Structure 1
Amino acid sequence: VLDLRYEAREVEQNVVQQDRNDAWFEAKTRGLTGVAKAKLKQRWGNLQKMFSSKARLGQIVADIVFDMETKPRLHDGRGNAMLVAGSIYQACKFYELFQETELKGKCAIVTSYEPAVGDIRTETVGDDGETEAVEQYEIYMKMLGGKDPKVFEKEVKEKFIKQPEQMKLLIVVDKLLTGFDAPPATYLYIDKSMRDHGLFQAICRVNRLDGEDKEFGYIIDYKDLFRSLENAVADYTSEAFDCYDKEDVSGLLTDRLDKAKEQLEDSLEALRALCEPVAPPKDMVDYYHYFCGANTEAFDLDELEENMPKREQLYNLSATALRAFGEVSGELQEKYHYTMEQIKALEREVTYYIKVRDDVRLASGDYVDLKKYDPDMRHLIDTYLSADPSRVLTSFGEATLVELLVDNGISALKDMPASTPKEQEAVAETIENNIGKEIVERTQSNPKYYEKMSALLRELIEKRKNDVINYEEYLRQIVELARKVHKPESGTEYPPGIRERAAKRAFYDHLNGDTVVANQIYDAVMSSKQDNFRGSKIKERKIWRAIRAVVKDDQEADQLLALVKEQSEF
């Protein structure tokens, strides 16, 4: 596999004409209650919706089109690219925008979505526009051109692999990010929040060998996934979180599991207190009386209005409890030592309050189908959000992170934020992943040496995680380990005469430090090898016999021949 080159880009967005923005929202939501307006803002004010504005997507499309004409392997058609979108709808909007560029006919969407008429039967909302589901369906159907989705996907993937000049870009969401082996794929554009194993699997889509002109795989990151990004979206949509405590919102950025567990316990405690005054036997009609009014057949409007604060509290607390339980439930047993009976009891209680919430919301008339507002909110975002051309945030240039550490030491990390424990952890994991990848790449050339390096890396990771060493000492040791991994010849692990050649070092390590025999094996290979010996049984056998004459053992000769075939100098 190949080294990776990384570049983080940012497409900055701004709200334009704030007064018209607010006026549009108020006009389109006239008649909605305060609760419904807050929910609509929450639905459309999250980062995913903001990042899917037409202006922002258009700037990314312009970036990719520019790269297609200027970047190595893209402009000559020998390589191609993948774009990871944040949602299927966003993938469809990307595709629609690419149809207005030179990539029309040379890009496609590959996702798990299979358009079906039944899915959109209730989605159309008349003359005001269409929901995202309808737009998604129509774009997909136009792309498929009457073909079965599975047949279309198979054809597209085959063309991407075998005819990169004809299928230059695949737009994906979750599919093809693992197990899809396409050597021409050279660039990966990421516009989706990813982390850990999923992120590592995704970036490995572009590190496959593919001819002499593919030297690197390139990662273009629009979500700045390798840094700690905690910027708030400072616009009117922040009001969507008015229903929540400030501490709850800020807590979403740190200590995720601990915060979720705390939220679960606090919200359930608050729900119990809120529902305590409900009259026995606490049937649903008793909840209606308490949260809506005495007359369940025709609620008095004044009573409904008077009881609205209690209902809002019920809606918000039950939603918080459900979200927190979903986030922490998988860790309750192992991390927090809950029994299965306790977990099931929590699940029953959360489910119960969600049913109470849903029934009260329907009975009171608070429930509003927000889907019909989708076209208006999409118009608002596409009209009143502008996007600037992308700018480079972080780039490793023409060097890998391991090379930077070897050449520049700790100063190579100056652009990576590490002022908080969370940021330090993110930097450490990035370094460890890069060193681990290089160890894996080099292991076959000298298994014993790189197995030792792998053990040292695991040991250092354990020290860091268990706070055995401070951060500064960790950095010093990780830089030293990077040097040993990348430039084993620069240390004192090998004697003179062995140190200078990678093949001799591999023989030396395999033979447990036998300098004499390592040199004899090297000389035997040099005197017996012929051009293009790999794959030729006759030529390989000649080398094997020369090695066998030195070690006097068939199995040892087999192992050493396998090692010879991994040495680039031969």
Structure 2
Amino acid sequence: MIWHTQGSGKSIVMVLLAKWILENKPNARVVIVTDRDELDKQIEGVFTAASHPMTRASSGRDLMTQLGQATPRLLCSLVHKFGRKGVDDFEQFIKDLEAQPCLTVGEIFVFVDECHRTQSGKLHRTMKALMPNAVFIGFTGTPLLKQDKQTSLEVFGGYIHTYKFSEGVEDGVVLDLIYEARDIDQRLGSEDKIDTWFDVKTRGLNDWQKAALREQWGTMQNVLSSRSRMDRVVEDIIFDFSVKPRLSNERGNAILVASSIYEACKYFELFQKTPFKGKCAVITSYNPQAKDITLEDTGANTETDKESIYTSYTTLLKNTGMANTEAYEDHAKKMFKDQPVNMKLLVVVDKLLTGFDAPSCTYLYIDKKMQDHGLFQAICRTNRLDGEDKDFGYVVDYKDLFKKVENAIAVYTSELDHSSGGVDPEILLQDRMTRGRERLDNALEAIAMLCEPVAPPKGELEHIHYFCGNTEIPEDLKAHETQRAALYKATVALVRAYANIADELGNAGYNETDIKRINKDLDSYLKLREIIRNAAGESLDLKAYEADMRHLIDTYIEADAPRKISPFDDMPLLDLIVKTGIANAINSLPDGLKGNKNAVAETIENNVRSKIIKEHLNDPAYYDKMSAILDEIIKFRKEQAENYEEYLKKIAELARRVEAGQAENTPEQLDTPGLRALYNNLRPKAAADPSLAYAGVAQDPMLDLAIRIDETVKQTRPDGWRGVQAKENVIKAALYGILQDVTEVERIFLIIEKQREY
């Protein structure tokens, strides 16, 4: 496997590696396999742009036909094209393929993109059975979390090379991320009205059905999709576009992640009533078809969620004149990438959160519960380089995912092989199948024990009697509710345990007889659950209640304007001190710090020290001076603990000086950072003694020297000189003509190298 972090050029590595293989191995063939059409098109585009056109396979059969010929040498395919519908016995299907693999010409290398996803299941096993002699190289932009690692390491082996997120940021290949959590308080406008509504609407339902309805619609998910709350999110985003850098100057744009297609459509409709009309699109891949709503009509003059989605999309396609969803989405994505001023916002659910690179994308608004790979890949949509005015990717979170973001960043900057804590990965590798089998066996045993008391011959009627009671006794159905709830819960546990290792029952140690028995038992228990639900009258079609529940949520749940809840807002602490003053900066610290003077002090000092270290090479003399002043202030704090207010004044003043990067009495001729750095570092005495700083032009001939060096560098520097020795020597030679000292040339050259203006 090759793990190169999101946005660092993984596709380019594929191109270079494929090019090297094809040039150095005359009989080699390279197949690029992806799991999404978006990625498939992107990979093809990258190879074509690099003058390596490739052939896209239209189906699995087409791919194998082409591999059975000597050409083409470079192909790409979707992994799903290796699947085969209607396979009842997958293990036998694989055995048949392995006995008679496809005949391929040449030495086959298969590059599997995003190898932590679907390629580790049935489809991947099919690929390997079809091409048993191929070399498989897995590429991923995300590290393998433990649950993925267990499977992927078995399939691909270890890492060939890793390039982590933190390394990409440090090298300037991708941007760092700034996170901001925003909370929208919601409250019930009238609890009495809601209770009355619920009682009237559910009068014909039993307790179990009422509980099911309460559970579905009382979840936070539905509360958080109230119309009032969505209005607040829309207003919040519109406001950001008028005040935030990159958004307000129309160089950048944003993606909003919604929790469902229904919510995405509602958000889109809300944005159409704002200045974003015509400059916003919804991307979900949903294609409206009449069959989607044929069973949705409840007889009332209201829409279910599916009907609402269908109406939104048919209206959208009609208004845009697009033939289908694919054409509409392709147009919107192109506009988003090429004309951010004309396509400000994309509303998505799952699509575009991986494999979609748009450098203009600067903000990601998350209104969906996410974690692990999905969360990290999503927030990395914003970290692509796009000119000097894009310093960070911004993540605005409306679902309080801060801990999950922290954990994701920690994981993605760690070495993952052995540092993820807990049980050693190798032990988990050996243990995974054993644990999966143990869980499935336990689930089967639990549901069997639950049904054990059913009277012989244990047919449908006996099960109904046991779980529903005697229909002649009115209280019996209620009395047996506990047994039914236990059955429903045990069936869910069985389905989940089975799904975890369904593709690998043979590898888990089950023989063919066991597998047939397990599949038969699973089927019978699922049928039993439906029989009992129907017998108890507990099969509840919730569609008839959807529109009423939506009206309830939109009418009675009120949302406040978003408020920021992240510890430091969206600016570094040093900026807070400089722009808003020390008091506001301290108030922005987490509550646990505010009451501890030493903790506050050390937090501020660490921020100042970090800035000094970061900027030191730009102007060593100036920042050495700032570092010395910081040391004095820390000493003052420790020696005069009672004079805390004076300490805060001193540290606030230092923070302003560090952030400014120059002294207040700087000569006006030094009007660029480069000139100031040259001047400061040509004057070692002034650097050592702050009292001598900027003594005045008449007393300081070094001012003329700094200006002369500045003009000389600007006149002699070749294009692209950094890192090219011959070009760097041109500048050094010009410096030597002025300084006449090799050591001094090397010292000053390091200062010049760090100045962007040169």
> Aligning the two structures, in what range does the TM-score lie when normalised by the shorter sequence?
0.5 to 0.7
Deviation at residue 74 of structure 1 after TM alignment: 1.3
Deviation at residue 308 of structure 1 after TM alignment: 3.8
Deviation at residue 211 of structure 1 after TM alignment: 2.0
Query: CA–CA distance in 2 between the matches of 1:374 and 1:46?
Result: 14
Alignment counterpart, residue 542 of structure 2, candidates 348, 367, 370: 370
Letter in 2 for 1:26: D
Residue equivalent to 2:480: 310
> What does 1:39-58 align with in structure 2 at a 5 Å threshold?
39-58=212-231
Deviation at residue 260 of structure 1 after TM alignment: 12
Query: CA–CA distance in 1 between the matches of 2:510 and 2:285?
Result: 34
Query: CA–CA distance in 2 between the matches of 1:49 and 1:344?
Result: 40
Query: CA–CA distance in 2 between the matches of 1:328 and 1:529?
Result: 71
Residue equivalent to 1:415: 590
Deviation at residue 318 of structure 1 after TM alignment: 2.4
Deviation at residue 327 of structure 1 after TM alignment: 6.6
Query: CA–CA distance in 1 between the matches of 2:468 and 2:389?
Result: 71
Give the direction of change, closer, same or farther, for the CA distance of 1:534–1:13 in structure 2 (3 Å limit): same
Query: CA–CA distance in 1 between the matches of 2:590 and 2:466?
Result: 57
Residue equivalent to 1:387: 559
Alignment counterpart, residue 211 of structure 1, candidates 387, 405, 418: 387
Which structure would you say has the larger RCO, counting Cα contacts within 8 Å and 6 or more residues apart? Answer: 1
> What does 1:283-432 align with in structure 2 at a 5 Å threshold?
283-292=459-468, 300=471, 302-303=472-473, 305-311=475-481, 313-323=483-493, 325-326=495-496, 330=500, 339-340=509-510, 349-397=521-569, 415=590
Residue equivalent to 1:196: 372
TM-score norm. by structure 1 comes to 0.61
Instruction: Determine if the alignment matches structure 1 residue 142 to structure 2 residue 315.
Output: yes
SS of 2:303's equivalent?
coil
Deviation at residue 540 of structure 1 after TM alignment: 5.6
Where does structure 1 lack aligned partners over 5 or more consecutive residues?
230-258, 295-299, 405-410, 419-500, 502-525, 547-563
Residue equivalent to 1:423: none
Question: Does the Cα contact within 8 Å between 2:367 and 2:397 map onto a contact in 1?
Answer: yes
Query: CA–CA distance in 2 between the matches of 1:75 and 1:360?
Result: 59
Tell me the alpha carbon deviations over residues 427-464 of structure 1, each in whole angstroms, 9 at most, x when there is no partner: xxxxxxxxxxxxxxxxxxxxxxxxxxxxxxxxxxxxxx
Give the direction of change, closer, same or farther, for the CA distance of 1:303–1:398 in structure 2 (3 Å limit): closer
Residue equivalent to 1:452: none
Residue equivalent to 2:191: 18
Deviation at residue 278 of structure 1 after TM alignment: 1.8
Give the direction of change, closer, same or farther, for the CA distance of 1:528–1:63 in structure 2 (3 Å limit): closer
SS of 1:8's equivalent?
strand
Give the direction of change, closer, same or farther, for the CA distance of 1:402–1:157 in structure 2 (3 Å limit): farther
Deviation at residue 527 of structure 1 after TM alignment: 14
> What does 1:149-164 align with in structure 2 at a 5 Å threshold?
149-164=325-340
Deviation at residue 212 of structure 1 after TM alignment: 2.4
Deviation at residue 157 of structure 1 after TM alignment: 0.4
Give the direction of change, closer, same or farther, for the CA distance of 1:97–1:185 in structure 2 (3 Å limit): same
SS of 1:126's equivalent?
coil
Query: CA–CA distance in 1 between the matches of 2:478 and 2:574?
Result: 59
SS of 1:532's equivalent?
coil
SS of 2:402's equivalent?
coil
Question: Does the Cα contact within 8 Å between 1:528 and 1:542 map onto a contact in 2?
Answer: no
SS of 1:171's equivalent?
strand
Query: CA–CA distance in 1 between the matches of 2:251 and 2:272?
Result: 22
Letter in 2 for 1:330: N
Deviation at residue 72 of structure 1 after TM alignment: 1.1
Query: CA–CA distance in 1 between the matches of 2:224 and 2:551?
Result: 14
Instruction: Determine if the alignment matches structure 1 residue 170 to structure 2 residue 346.
Output: yes
Report how many residues are paired: 403
Deviation at residue 412 of structure 1 after TM alignment: 13
Letter in 2 for 1:221: D
Alignment RMSD (CA, Å): 4.3
Question: Does the Cα contact within 8 Å between 1:131 and 1:371 map onto a contact in 2?
Answer: yes
Give the direction of change, closer, same or farther, for the CA distance of 1:261–1:189 in structure 2 (3 Å limit): farther
Query: CA–CA distance in 1 between the matches of 2:570 and 2:473?
Result: 69
SS of 1:183's equivalent?
coil
TM-score norm. by structure 2 comes to 0.47
Residue equivalent to 2:685: none
Question: Does the Cα contact within 8 Å between 1:36 and 1:366 map onto a contact in 2?
Answer: yes
Deviation at residue 143 of structure 1 after TM alignment: 1.8
Where does structure 2 lack aligned partners over 5 or more consecutive residues?
1-173, 406-434, 577-585, 594-680, 682-712, 731-749
Letter in 2 for 1:533: G
Letter in 2 for 1:367: S
Query: CA–CA distance in 2 between the matches of 1:402 and 1:263?
Result: 52
Give the direction of change, closer, same or farther, for the CA distance of 1:64–1:266 in structure 2 (3 Å limit): same
Question: Does the Cα contact within 8 Å between 2:494 and 2:522 map onto a contact in 1?
Answer: no
Larger radius of gyration: 2
Residue equivalent to 2:272: 99
Tell me the alpha carbon deviations over residues 320-346 of structure 1, each in whole angstroms, 9 at most, x when there is no partner: 541575278538999xx9644689866
Alignment counterpart, residue 720 of structure 2, candidates 526, 533, 555: 533
Percent of aligned positions with the same letter in both sequences? 45
Deviation at residue 310 of structure 1 after TM alignment: 2.4
> What does 1:540-551 align with in structure 2 at a 5 Å threshold?
542-543=726-727
Deviation at residue 286 of structure 1 after TM alignment: 2.6
